[in-house]
Structure 1
Amino acid sequence: MGDMESAQESKTQQPPNQPLVGIWLLLVCMFVLAMVVVGGATRLTDSGLSITEWDLGKGLTPPLSDARWAEEFALYQRTTEYQLQNRGMSLAEFQSIYWWEWGHRFLGKMIGLVFALPFAFFWATGRLRGRFAPVLVLFALGGLQGAIGWWMVTSGLWSGLDVSPIRLAVHLGMAFVIAGLALWLALDCFGWPRASTPSVPVWAPPAFLALLFAQVILGAFLAGSDGGAAYADWPLIGGQVWPSGAFEQTPLWQNHASQHLLHRTTGYLVALLAVAIAFLSRNGKGAGEKVGVALGLLALAQAGLGVATVLAASPVSLSLAHQFGAAALWLTGVAVWKAQR
């Protein structure tokens, strides 16, 4: 009797469903997912260092005159990347990389508007009651992500040909955190159905997300050091189970043998845990169980995509699809965990 009363009291303390707020947060989540994809394309096309200044006002519009293009190109010609790698690049070639970075930054500004304007409206109309604090945290993380992005870019402007893999990993990891939190809050606003009799151990979904997050960070180190094409064979790595030189070169994030060994091994563990969750969820009829089955299928598809990316020596198209797959798998894992809460 006491347990029933306690459960009922807990239920009444839950904030009311707010589908309109949920739609808004889903939109924010989708925008962040788009940012992950565009950011990946920006990195894969070596476009990330093409804009050398952080000017919010100036960045609202792209260069629309020959003079403005000449100014932007002159700024880029001062960078180490231009001096050591792209010397002699034409203006047309510069424009092709500039558009990716400008689009990435512009999309970030649009996310700010998509978040801030509805946030002010929902707050003023009382629709954020009971959820104001976590939504405010989401807003703060978005602002922090912008600063992290510029911090990352500055690491490659004047002292190398690429941004720091560590800063890239922080930037990508924060994007996943923001997208996951936005989806979690959106599902809460919809009253995402909890499993009445959970078929999956309570520790499994958060363990999966922790393992997947580690895998994302490992992938960022691998991509950030241009190591994706270092070993284009599978299941062996350079013809070996344990590649020569693994864990010998320092720093670790520049050791391609170590990166491939860790990223592939962690990928196997992610797939195994996802398949286990799917197996335990297979007979459930609730939304959470159905998403649990989808998690396993998506993890297998992502693993297959990873293998294809390796065998093809990491072309832009497959690498970008692999990054999108990681984000989709992450969001699916968030939905599974939310159903268990």
Structure 2
Amino acid sequence: MSEKIKIGIIGTGGIARAHVSAYRKLPFVEIVAVADAIPGKSAEFKEREGLTEAAAYDSHTELLKADLDGVSICTPNVSHHRVSVDALRAGKNVLVEKPMSVTLAEAVEMAQASRESGKMLSIGFQPRYDPNMKLLQDIVQSGRLGNVYYVETGGGRRRGMPGGTFISKALAGAGAMADIGCYSLDMALNTLGYPRPVSVSAFTSNHFGTNPLYHPEASKFEVEDFGVAMVRFENDLVLQFKISWAMHMDSLGATLFLGTDAGLKVTPAGSGPWSGVWDGAIGSMTMFHDEFGGHTSTAVPLIGHKLNLFDEKVRDFAEAVRDGRPAPIPGEQILIQQAIIDGVLRSADLRREVSIELPQ
């Protein structure tokens, strides 16, 4: 394709600025339209970002009438489903920010719209672009660990609670489980080849978010700030999933892969109160195994790089649009993760184990 591909941005919050920055680094991309449901906000965004040639719309439905090759969906979580389905049915390729949706039913409709329209639906998990994530996947899938029977993943911030749309049930749908927990799930499930879950037992709470000592918007806090779940899979694998926006603890621990021949401990990169979750790169990887009749451990050398993982995510989507490739991170795969989050929230609400039934 010799002409530039035409991209629209739907939603003009903070994450939209990151999408604009990433697209601007690609000489084959032109941002031609922006939209926001709040009247006047898209025009303000266009001026602030210097998108002088782009059209500004006050609804995504108006933007989708434009001649576009693809859209970045940067709206609040609760609208990911509706906007994605509308975009796919309008014949646009879609890159939607995580989490994919709020409910499993929404994710199923999104995947169906992608299949029926023949347009790609890609979900925004930039940590996959750390080359060490591929190294981790290669180690686990090589069989070096033997049969992997238990995985522990998640992360916790001692203090790292967002506000605004993130804490509104009507706009976010869920809290820490979906916001940062989805990263932990994708990291573990992608490494394992996305096995099919069958049941989950979960607990959630929001002791910190609803306490004015810890959150300035405590009276508006409607979602969970902590959660833990045990997920069972078809292949006798179990996964412990734990996440926290706030806690009286320094860490919820590393991600662990326990196998019959070896184990692997993986820690995230980053430091500070907002770190400790899988929204970035790998910090360290250590294999625990037996050699010559004794216990030993081996530090796995990490691959050095200077990649901007967010930029890589946007670039991969744009190149897939340009080249007619399949979705880099397909919605049909992330639908499995969405089924787990949906099950976690149902289980926590019912206070018992629930089944997870995936569509065929």
TM-score, normalised to structure 1, is 0.26
Larger Rg: 1
TM-score (norm 2): 0.25
- Greater fraction of residues in helix: 1
Structure that is richer in strand per residue? 2
